[in-house]
Amino acid sequence: MASLLQQLRGMTTVVSDTGDINSIEQFKPQDSTTNPSLIMAAAQMPAYQPIVDGVLQQARAEAGPGASDQDVATLAFKQLAVAFGLKILAIIPGRVSTEVDARISYDTEKSIATAREIIAQYEKAGVSRERVLIKLASTWEGIKAAEVLEKEGIHCNMTLLFGLHQAIACAEAKVTLISPFVGRILDWYKKDTGKDYTGADDPGVKSVTTIYNYYKKFGYKTVVMGASFRNIGEIIELAGCDLLTIAPKLLAELESTDGTLERKLDPAKAASSDGHKITITKQTFDTFHAENRMATDKLKEGIESFSKALEDLEQLLVKRLSEITQPVRA
Q: Which residues are catalytic?
A: 135
Q: What is the length of the chain?
A: 330
In Å, how far are 31, 109, 133, 191, 219 from 153, measured between CA atoms? 19, 17, 10, 41, 21
Three-state SS sequence of the chain? CCEHHHHHHCCCEEEEECCCHHHHHHHCCCEEECCHHHHHHHHCCHHHHHHHHHHHHHHHHHHCCCCCHHHHHHHHHHHHHHHHHHHHHCCCCCCEEEECCHHHCCCHHHHHHHHHHHHHHHHHCCCCHHHEEEEEECCHHHHHHHHHHHHCCCCEEEEEECCHHHHHHHHHCCCCEEEEEHHHHHHHHHHHHCCCCCHHHCHHHHHHHHHHHHHHHCCCCCEEEEECCCCHHHHHHCCCCCEEEECHHHHHHHHCCECCCCCCCCHHHHCCCCCCCCCCCHHHHHHHHHHCHHHHHHHHHHHHHHHHHHHHHHHHHHHHHHHCCCCCCC
| Region for 128 from its dihedrals, namely left if φ exceeds 0, alpha if ψ lies in -120 to 50, beta otherwise | beta
CA 205, 35, 109, 300 dihedral sign is positive
The alpha-carbon radius of gyration of the chain (Å, integer) is: 20
